Amino acid sequence: MSESHDITPESSEIISTPAVDVFMPSSEPNNAPVSERRQARRENWRLIRRRPAFIIGCFIVLVFVICALFGTQLAPHSAFDFRVKPHLSPRAAYPFGTDKTGRDVFSRVIVGARDILKIAPLAALLSIVFGVTLGMFMGYFGGWLDNVAGRLVEAFLALPVVLIGLLAITTLGNSTWVVLGVVAALFTPIVARTVRAAVLAERDLDYVTSARLRGEGSIFIMFREILPNVSGPIVVELTVRIGYAVFTVATLSFLGAGPPPPSPDWGAQVSEAYNGIAGGFWWTTFFPALAIALLVIAVNLIADSVQSVLEGS
Amino acid sequence: MGRYLMRRLLSALVTLWLLATIVFAVVNVIPGDVGRKVLGPFAPKEDVAAFNHRLGTDRPLLHQYLVSMKNLITLHFGTSYASGSKVSSVIFPALFRSGKLALLAFIITIPVSILAGIFAARRQDKLADRSVVTLGLATSSIPEFVTAAVLMSIFCVHWKIGHVYATPPAGTSLLGQLPYLFFPAMAMVIAYFGYITRMTRAGVIQALHSDYARTATMKGLGKSEVMRTHLLRNALAPTITVISVQIGYLFGGIIGVEKVFNYAGLGSTMLIAVGSKDIPVLQGAVLLVGIVYMVSTLLADLLIAYLNPRVRLETKR
């Protein structure tokens, strides 16, 4: 593969001494692109805000965030109380009915927003932090590091995230933190691949070469010079990852690898209730399932809006 | 073509080996006492030791790694903790049953989504196009188990036109199994329809704007003639890649669908293995899915090379 970028610290030192004079004058109008960048960012944000899909998505997510933050205060009944009669169909007092142990489904759906809205965004954020670091090193240094890491990433991508997540959580035991860590770890290679591709396109541009000639260290160049210029794909990746994280956490928790039972997590609720569908008790499954579907679609509407503005559809 | 095939096959084998190593690492990340985990905290010490000795889980890690590699090469996958039988005798029949479900899903998905993709591409940016794309985005972002549960509530319970238990009684003919498998398959069709449609649409739009499409139109060919003889061959390459990737990824979603519809496929087998902490079965099933993924992407690459001489001939240089 290409190894043309091999300017070792020693050699760049030698070159940088005379180069300082040459590059000094250009450091003054260097401020221009920064404000230009800010302007472009403002313009992008304006374009994103104006998309109807983005507004609808944000509205739905906001409703769920409020449920997650103030769930126990908002819910008309307790999410854990068994006192009500079991299997009541939806009615005024219990708009979503009650489940097989007599708990109010409406209250459980409201309170259930908390787990998934805590785990999914955090897992996505963690995967971005690790993935950006890994992808940055792969793209910037290239060579054997890129080759080995690239191979591993490819092997990781050969498996559905849910499967290897199920395997990992079975061996590690399920707790909220394990689920969070496993999802973050599984998304890291995917993020790394995106970032690597973006960095490859930047690596040989003039501003990187001149930073190198100025004698800047690799870490500085990667995270202060290149990172701001690949922020677009990273923002897109973050929003897309949050969507997939909600999907993955919900599926894992349906499969029994989520937060443990008394938790009113949506996936766990569907898992407890789906056997009742055949008996006609559709509401105990339907409403938590609807909540999952609404949240995933909302996050994806946001992600799609951000993506089509930043990457140009 | 021969050299292309060799290189592609070799790289698939390397990826498979790495995959097996990753799976081994995931399983052994906590150096736990397997016998204690499987037999529970109250089992006598001697039984635990005997269990570990019988399954080789008391041997050094390197030895276990080599054994697991040997098991992969022979497609034997080791011994089940729960039943003591060969893992391969558990997971291969399960894969076959899941395969039937997946095949039905793809037989429905592929033509529908390719036609929808072409339909949308021809009306680019019009209302019909936007609707198809948005619908695809929405349905493909919903987890499969959610779709399965909703389909089951509506069609199998409310309207009673499908079966709540998708496992057909023993001895049902292949055609007789269709009504059992239809709604579980539909849950997957809804999940995968979006991706394939979007890919086809993008490919066709790109091809529509190409020079050769213009030339073909200018020399007087009709719209459908251009589409059939010139466009599709080029436009479908990304679609074929996406389909092959989906065949591997489908096994992530099929677990949820099988659980909802109580279908005894690979997904249910894995869930039972999770319940009894039967790591070898779980590990074998995951590796098997990896193999399915490798084979399907390999076949897709060969199909693309066959359709597009540029890919095939590039390697001759």
The string of pLDDT tens digits covering residues A162-184 is 888 888 888 887 788 889 999 99
Q: Tell me the nearest-neighbour CA distance from A122 into chain B, angstroms.
A: 19
Q: What is the average pLDDT across B135-163? A: 86
pLDDT > 70: percent of chain A:
86
User: Which residue of chain A is at minimal alpha-carbon distance from B297?
Assistant: A158
User: Using the beta-carbon criterion (under 8 Å), do A277 and B259 form an inter-chain contact?
Assistant: no
Find residues 123-152 of chain B whose CB sits inside 8 Å of chain A: 134, 137-138, 141-146, 149-150, 152
Measured between beta carbons, the chain B residues lying within 8 angstroms of A159 are 19, 248, 286, 289-290, 293
Is the CB of residue A282 less than 8 Å from the CB of residue B153? yes
User: Cβ contacts (< 8 Å) between A170 and chain B: which residues?
Assistant: 274, 277, 279, 282
Q: What are phi and psi of B129, to 5 degrees?
A: -65, -50
Please, which pLDDT band fits residue A13 given cuts at 50, 70 and 90? Answer: very low
Using a CB-CB distance cutoff of 8 angstroms, which residues of chain A are in contact with residue B279? 170-171
In Å, what is the CA distance from B201 to each residue of A169, B52, B233, B311? 38, 55, 14, 22
Confidence band of A16 (pLDDT split at 50, 70, 90): very low
Nearest chain B CA: its distance from A69 CA (Å): 24
Do the Cβ atoms of B164 and A285 come within 8 Å? no
pTM of the entire predicted model: 0.84
A285 to chain B: closest CA residue:
B149
Residue B154 DSSP class? I
More confident residue, B169 or A294: A294
The alpha-carbon gap from B163 to the nearest alpha carbon of chain A, in Å, equals 10
| Confidence at residue A28, expressed as pLDDT on a 0 to 100 scale | 43
pLDDT of residue A137: 92
Residues 152-171 of B with CB under 8 A from A: 152-153, 156-158, 164
Tell me the pLDDT of chain B averaged across its residues. 83
The ipTM (two decimal places) reads 0.84
B142 CA to chain A: closest CA distance, Å? 5
Residue A185: helix, strand or coil by DSSP? Answer: helix
Banded model confidence at residue A8, pLDDT cuts 50, 70, 90: very low
When CB atoms are compared, the residue of B14, B19, B143 closest to A250 is B143
Is the CB of residue B15 less than 8 Å away from at least one CB of chain A?
yes
The pLDDT tens digits of the residues spanning A200-236 come to 888 888 999 899 899 888 889 998 889 988 888 899 8
Confidence of residue A22 (pLDDT cuts 50, 70, 90): very low
Closest residue in A to B255 (Cα–Cα) = A255
Task: Please state, in angstroms and rounded to a whole number, the distance separating the CA atoms of residues B38 and B58.
Answer: 14
State the nearest Cα–Cα gap between B23 and chain A, in angstroms. 8
Sorting pLDDT into bands at 50, 70 and 90, what band is A9?
very low
Taking CB atoms and an 8 Å cutoff, what residues of chain A touch B134? 53
Sequence-distant (6+) residues with CB within 8 A of A254 are A267, A268, A270, A271, B143, B145, B256, B259
Contact A297 B279 (CB under 8 A): no
Measure B312 CA to nearest chain A CA, in Å.
22
pLDDT digits (tens, 9 = 90+) for A254-294: 998 877 766 778 888 888 888 888 777 888 888 898 999 99
Query: Which residues are CB-neighbours of B200 under 8 A, at least 6 positions away?
Result: B113, B114, B116, B117, B118, B121, B235, B236, B239
